[in-house]
Structure 1
């Protein structure tokens, strides 16, 4: 599986210095976002579209590359025993602002299907804690996403 991931990034992004770290970090980020999509055991088309748009925008990839990244990230998340390997990479290489931005992306995914499931909120809370994002920023990002959607939703 890791060979397939490395080949994907080698083909897609033409690695430069620190490429392995950056590519692995992108996969870790995508895998954490996939965890939010899968948290409620129901994957809605709106969630997949939102995830696709996020990855396309964040990593400047074309549609085919994003689809392949999503497939690889989902497979990697399926095989992972826990989130530690992904969280560790993010903690090692993202600064605090990047981690808060990642939590906000998680909230956007959770609300993509117009409703927040308790399992999604629990997953985001757990991941935010593991990323050492302060509770105040966890709440602030949630409120910012809610306000962007036009009101307070549960």
Structure 2
């Protein structure tokens, strides 16, 4: 499986004119990083998985079946990956700064979706944000935005 995905990544990178392959590769890379957040605390809460499905459907305008396939591939790829370099490189090469900040915000939303932030989750988000060259101030702002949105939706901080 890893070889198949690696070939897919290499083919898409070698032929950037094939926009569909490049888009699919970016979707997989993004989904793999988001799966890393779900897996960070060694517990996959059903709420996290449902939020991840919704994020992928909205971000990439995919149907439920395509999202399920993407989540499965991303989870397998994240499980077998030695490091995050291949995913991070793709995102750094093809996403603008604002898109990377938005991705970090999605990571925070996933981390908080089970109503608790595990130290492993925060550490993983911090590491990925650094690898994506997201400034520390934006890293903190995205976290605070997610916290404030959660407080407002819970009726506690509004």
Quickly name the TM-score band, shorter chain normalised. Answer: 0.7 to 0.9
* Structure 1 partner of 2:44: 43
Say if 2:5 and 2:77, in contact at 8 Å, map to a contact too: no
* Structure 2 partner of 1:129: 130
**Number of residues of Structure 1 aligned to a counterpart in Structure 2:** 144
Q: Are 1:82 and 2:87 counterparts? A: no
* 3-state SS of 1:47 partner: helix
* Structure 1 partner of 2:72: 71
* Structure 1 partner of 2:35: 34
Deviation of 1:19 after TM superposition, in Å, equals 1.7
Q: Unpaired runs of 5+ in structure 1?
A: 7-15
* Structure 1 partner of 2:102: 101
Deviation of 1:17 after TM superposition, in Å, equals 4.3
RMSD (CA atoms): 1.9
**Where do 4+ consecutive residues of structure 1 move more than 6 Å?**
none
* 3-state SS of 1:43 partner: coil
Q: Partners in 2 of 1:62 and 1:92 — Cα distance?
A: 26
Q: Unpaired runs of 5+ in structure 2?
A: 9-16
* 3-state SS of 1:150 partner: helix
TM-score w.r.t. length of structure 1: 0.88
Deviation of 1:79 after TM superposition, in Å, equals 1.2
Q: C-alpha offsets along residues 10-57 of structure 1, whole Å, 9 cap, x if unaligned?
A: xxxxxx942221111110000000000000001100000000000011
TM-score w.r.t. length of structure 2: 0.86
Say if 2:32 and 2:87, in contact at 8 Å, map to a contact too: yes
